[in-house]
Amino acid sequence: MKRENKKINAKAVVNGGAAAAAAIAMSVWAMPAAAEACGSFIDVSSNVFTADSYSYVISDSSSRYLSAEELYGYSSLYLMLARNEIYAKHGYMFRDQNIQRYFNYKDWYLGTIPAAEFTDAVFNDYEMSNISTIVAEENRRGGAAETLIWFD
């Protein structure tokens, strides 16, 4: 069954802290109720984005190597979603309810493998390298974005 093309609004929780706790406390944990007319928008340098139900973060992450230079300008949120998207393409079911919710919204996503049963043996060489490259950039920044916060 195809979902309506709704837009998602979310922002990242980056490395915890008081600001993150306040953002979580003030957030609305719901998807927007109505479909929006315009297409997707992800500002790769921002931790706030809007995305549509059919788009990918980095659509060809399974068929080419990502460079550190390419990832340098991406936000922590964008990096976290790009890394998790590689897992999502293989049916990974996320432990984090907000990341799971993000991918459930995607028309292309079919979460079929619980996290405890997932193995990285499914990844090809591009994906293994790209996960490592993304993690290295996240570590260079002091850590990955931890989760998403949903708001209308």
Looking at residue 47, its pLDDT comes to: 52
| Cα–Cα distance measured from residue 69 to residue 77, given in angstroms and rounded to the nearest whole number | 17
Structure-block tokens of residue 79: 């990096």
Whole-number Å distance between alpha carbons of 23 and 58: 27
Closest CA to 151 of 31, 59, 39: 31
Q: Smallest Cα–Cα separation from 92: which of 57, 121, 64, 119?
A: 119
Q: What integer pLDDT is reported at residue 114 of this predicted model?
A: 97
d(CA 121, CA 23): 37
Over 60: is that where the pLDDT of 15 sits? no
Band (pLDDT 50/70/90 cuts) for residue 112 is very high
pLDDT of residue 110: 96
Mean pLDDT for the chain overall: 74
User: Which of 60-64, 74-78, 97-101, 140-144 has the highest average model confidence (pLDDT)?
Assistant: 60-64
Query: What does the domain layout of the chain look like in residue ranges?
Result: 8-150
- Give the tens place of pLDDT for each residue, 68-81: 999 998 888 899 99
The predicted pLDDT at position 150 comes to: 66
- Alpha helices, H only, 12-55: 18-26
pLDDT at 54: 72
